[in-house]
Structure 1
Amino acid sequence: MTSTAPADSGPAARNRWQALVQRFPLITFFTLANGISWLAWLPYVLSLDGFGVLHFRYPDLLMGNQLTAILPGAYLGPLTAAFTVTAITEGGEGLRRWRRRLFQFRAGVLWYAFALFAVPVAVLLGTLAASDGQGFQVPSLMVLALYVPMLVLQFFTTGLAEEPGWRDFALSRLQQRHQPMIATFVLGVLWIIWHLPLFLTPWGGPDVTAETIVRFAVLAMEMSFLITLVYNKGRQSLPLVMLLHCSINNFQSVAFSEFFPGANEQLLWGPVLGLGVLALVVIVLTKGRLGYTDTRVRAVATAG
């Protein structure tokens, strides 16, 4: 994982630290993203919400205590890592390009429709198949009333905290060095590892087992392939990627239990089935390219 930019495209290193970052930008990013987030989450893990070593709880706000306990670490890790490495390897101009990409909304209408509806539909169909339709019910109008506001909230919390780092910074650079399938798999594994400390908290659910973690890992990997497709085909629109990311979070947290109120452990594999089929279809239809083209890669390299 060496620098993805030409050797003369960034500022000259002033010390060994900057030279190391310029030589290994991706390794630096992953190390900082994990280290900063995990350090920020440590009090949460040790609090009464986790191991109970520290005798306090994080206050609840809208989404339980995710906004107060998890979001600070989620923001600090990937965003700080991407900002730091970009500043060192590409300087002020690189940061300006990065900032402009945060507001790149131009993408086809169909890709916005895909980001909004593909994941919920796949989750529903997969769970219906896994349950033979048993336990399904039409949710109340209250769920529909909450869905859009919570989607907006997820967009500016989970989506904004993670995707400028994981996809805009890391994925674009990994794809310049590796085939899209390999780049997506590597990033997916590292993305899963980043989440692992949260399974020591209520975020992972009331009864976390090995099956819980495996199920999350498979689901996250499937989402990684879908996100790569949307990133590549949607003109690398970061808001589009953020929308796709938060669509799975929002549907699972707001709507899933309303569609399947009696969901058991076996039924929770339904979303994995649905997204797995969708990801497989994407891989087959794109012949493993996931929307990646040489022209697009050259454009990314030119843009930094």
Structure 2
Amino acid sequence: MTMTTTRPVQDSRAGRWVARHRFIAFVALAYAISWSLWLGAAAGGGQAFFLLGGLGPMAAAAIVTAVSGGSLIAWIRPVWRWRVPARWWAYALGLPALLYVVATLVLQGLGFPVDWSLGIERLPDYLGTLVFVLFLGGAMEEPGWRGFGLAVLQERYSPLRATIVLGLVWGVWHVPIYGPAGFVVPWVLAVFYTLLWNATHSVGLCILLHASFTPAQDHLLLMPRQDAYTAVLDTPDWVILGTYLAAAGVVVAMTRGRLGAGLPR
């Protein structure tokens, strides 16, 4: 009897190229998958196409891992890494809310009509958005961005340089949704995710941070919506961006650019 053998995928020409250029292959696939599905949604495919587009980074990471000969189990395992020090749970859940408290205080100081009682009124919407993004936002993105992309970049680059590169890639990925300037905020926020990933190696906590930022952005600017969102790049937008930049600068300075690398876990 003749036994037929199959070459490992990574031994093919394409597999060898992917193994040498894992990050480039990951980015190309993530963009191709997500943007084509979002284009389909815009062309009439509906909400299902839009939601499926969010799977692009995770699908790309899985494909590149498999094609390059990596372990899918080892790649996905950090999603379930929840046993980390309590301070990092507090960081993932509380940092976005804290940043919006600061932004709201600045706006109040500038004379904007801040109403702190809106925090209680918007709490149900905040929690609902958090749960939604926990399962259908960050859960689809973070196994790709942090669990694969950041991990691969930090094999070669410093944490800060890897964050700058990944943050830009992550930001540009959002452009079809948020418009030409939609890359800016994710690019800045990437600093906070790198610190969390390096300190915990928990994709699960990165998902939680992602799920905390979205409802904070949607619900925790404590002003009447007709005053808070009057135009694109109005004063509240600049205050929020300035708060993000200042906080990211503090994190970089306090960690001396290491962004959590080398911390005991």
Q: What band does the TM-score fall into relative to the shorter chain?
A: 0.7 to 0.9
Q: What letter corresponds to residue 259 of structure 1 in structure 2?
A: M
2:27 is matched with which residue: 20, 26, 30? Answer: 30
**Structure 2 residue 108 is matched with structure 1 residue 144:** no
2:83 is matched with which residue: 90, 102, 106? Answer: 106
Shift of 1:102: 1.5
Gaps (5+ residues) in structure 2? 1-7
Q: Which residue in 1 is equivalent to 2:192?
A: 226
1:18 is matched with which residue: 1, 6, 15? Answer: 15
Shift of 1:90: 3.0
CA contact (8 A) 1:170 1:187 kept: yes
CA contact (8 A) 1:45 1:197 kept: no
**Structure 2 residue 202 is matched with structure 1 residue 251:** no
Shift of 1:156: 0.7
> After the TM superposition, which of the residue ranges 218-227 and 136-145 deviates more from structure 2?
136-145
CA contact (8 A) 1:123 1:270 kept: no
Q: CA RMSD in A?
A: 2.2
Q: Percent identity?
A: 33
**Structure 2 residue 103 is matched with structure 1 residue 134:** no
Q: What letter corresponds to residue 50 of structure 2 in structure 1?
A: I
Secondary structure class of the residue paired with 2:261: coil
Q: What letter corresponds to residue 25 of structure 2 in structure 1?
A: T
> After the TM superposition, which of the residue ranges 159-168 and 15-24 deviates more from structure 2?
15-24
CA contact (8 A) 2:104 2:114 kept: no
Shift of 1:285: 0.4
Gaps (5+ residues) in structure 1? 1-10, 48-56, 59-64, 205-212, 297-304
2:52 is matched with which residue: 69, 72, 80? Answer: 72
Cα distance in 2 for residues equivalent to 1:72 and 1:252: 23
Q: What letter corresponds to residue 189 of structure 2 in structure 1?
A: M
Cα distance in 1 for residues equivalent to 2:153 and 2:119: 43
TM-score, normalisation: structure 2: 0.87
Cα distance in 2 for residues equivalent to 1:217 and 1:135: 29
2:62 is matched with which residue: 74, 83, 106? Answer: 83
Cα distance in 2 for residues equivalent to 1:294 and 1:20: 33
Give aligned pairs, total: 251
The structure-2 alpha-carbon separation of the partners of 1:260 and 1:244, relative to structure 1 and needing over 3 Å to count, comes to farther
Cα distance in 2 for residues equivalent to 1:12 and 1:291: 35
CA contact (8 A) 1:127 1:268 kept: no
The structure-2 alpha-carbon separation of the partners of 1:239 and 1:259, relative to structure 1 and needing over 3 Å to count, comes to farther
**Structure 2 residue 244 is matched with structure 1 residue 275:** yes
Q: Which residue in 1 is equivalent to 2:3?
A: none
Cα distance in 1 for residues equivalent to 2:190 and 2:10: 33
| Structure 1 residue ranges (4+ consecutive) displaced by more than 4 angstroms after TM superposition | none
Q: Which residue in 2 is equivalent to 1:118?
A: 95
TM-score, normalisation: structure 1: 0.76
CA contact (8 A) 2:198 2:263 kept: no
CA contact (8 A) 2:173 2:183 kept: no
CA contact (8 A) 1:41 1:69 kept: yes
Cα distance in 1 for residues equivalent to 2:131 and 2:262: 31
